[in-house]
Amino acid sequence: MPQASPGGSKRSNGCAGPVIDLLEKYLPFDFLKVNHQPDGNFPNGIPNPLLPENRSATAKAVIDHRADVGIAWDGEL
């Protein structure tokens, strides 16, 4: 399987980080992890990708690393 370019992924210190850790070995691309470690205090803002201000870290990771895609997770949905 060809190696795909990395994708940026922001989880705002929510619960999606550990899930991504389990899934990534089965996916044909690498993750650039932003705010990856779960922290119930949400030091980087609430994990709601519907809020425009919560997308900037993902957008920056995509641009800085020339990723093919950026995913901002809401671990509750």
**pLDDT, tens only, 8-18:** 555 567 777 88
Q: Which amino acid is it at 75?
A: G
| H-helix segments, the chain | 16-23, 56-65
pLDDT in tens, 46-75: 778 888 888 888 889 889 989 888 888 776
4 or 19, higher pLDDT: 19
Query: What is the per-residue DSSP string for 56-77?
Result: HHHHHHHHHHT-SEEEE--TT-
pLDDT value at residue 4: 47
